[in-house]
Amino acid sequence: MAATTTSSMALMKMRFTDSSPSSTAAVSARVLPFSKPGHLHFQLGSTFRRTITTHRDSISSSNSATAFCCSSAVTASVTAEPSSNVIDGKKVSKEIKEEICAEIAKMKDAIGVVPGLAVILVGERKDSATYVRNKKKACEAVGIKSYEVCLPENSTEEEVLKHISSFNDDPSVHGILVQLPLPSHMNEQNILNAVCIEKDVDGFHPLNIGRLAMRGREPLFVPCTPKGCIELLHRYGIGIKGKRAVVIGRSNIVGMPAALLLQREDATVSIVHSRTKDPEEITKQADIIIAAVGQPNMVRGSWIKPGAVIIDVGINPVEDTTNPRGYRLVGDVCYEEASKVASAITPVPGGVGPMTIAMLLSNTLISAKRIHNLK
């Protein structure tokens, strides 16, 4: 592949703002109706910002065809129409943003305040800059005021901590987000821990994760991608209580908190990771599968129990010479195979991706309302 195409693929691997599904499989499948529109089921959240291949558990597959789940998957269309219902993340996220916009308008009318989100970007990575730009647009669309600090690659850790301290003390800022990854000379843990827990809209503070893991405790925030996964299940009326759920991947950002959230919903949860024996057999028992491993098309149709529900967090660029861009985006689940077995599935793109930023906006609003004692 040409160097320019490889560079574009690397950038797209970091982007998590999905467009509508481009494949025939995604377009032709039926779309489930919402169960309870206009109601956010969770008061938790954060955002997923790290490189997928760096921060997800990398589970290798013995099947050499993992990157391309079937010959028809190399192209953007398939000949057989899937039987699964599509869980439309773009549609749900649009509805959530409309709800947030209405809430912010009420807040502004009531107390003259709007939520504020501060983002700190260190370095000039194109993927990180893309994330920050998308978040800024999303904030503007719903009425959240965005603050942005862009520092050069060679900035010191002390400079970053200084800006965090300033935002911690700023009453107009209700959420603080440090764009990851940080330059290698910085201590990521020190920087993330410096964010005031009441403004930790990313949900990465150890106290928030600790509270999420404990019964009877409520975290202020959890990572937004797992929250978005659960919200999709709720919005489509998919029951979780008593179900067998499998989470593929155990990262701190997606897999681990997703498993904790499912457990809070009274699911029986198994985690499949890089040291798991017989992952296919374990996954095949699941009523609900959340795949967050960063391996293109790893989960095949043979892994899935008929009627299972699949939430595919993965977004991976794979080479596609038929595409003008030279690549296409696929999930961790082979959509062409899984859609013929599952009862419902999220497409890639257009599934979990749009929910991540929507949950970040929701979390920022929740923070502002909490700080100003609004219900």
Is 202 among the residues known to form the active site? yes
Catalytic residue among 13, 90, 97, 135: 135
Catalytic residue among 179, 227, 243, 295: 179
Hey, how many other C-beta atoms are within 10 angstroms of the C-beta on 365? 28
Catalytic residue among 202, 287, 312, 320: 202
Contact (CB, 8 A) for 95 and 34: yes
* DSSP structural state of residue 152: -
Residues 6+ apart with CB under 8 A from 183: 122, 123, 153, 154, 155
Q: C-alpha distances in angstroms, 122 versus 13, 161, 228, 289?
A: 20, 12, 27, 35
What's the farthest any 2 CA atoms get from each other in the chain?
59
Is 145 among the residues known to form the active site? no
Contact (CB, 8 A) for 127 and 14: yes
Rounded to the nearest 5°, which phi and psi values hold at 39? Answer: -140, 115
Task: Please give the Cα distance from 37 to 1 (Å, whole number).
Answer: 44
Rounded to the nearest 5°, which phi and psi values hold at 327? Answer: -155, 165
Is 179 among the residues known to form the active site? yes
Residues with catalytic roles:
135, 179, 202
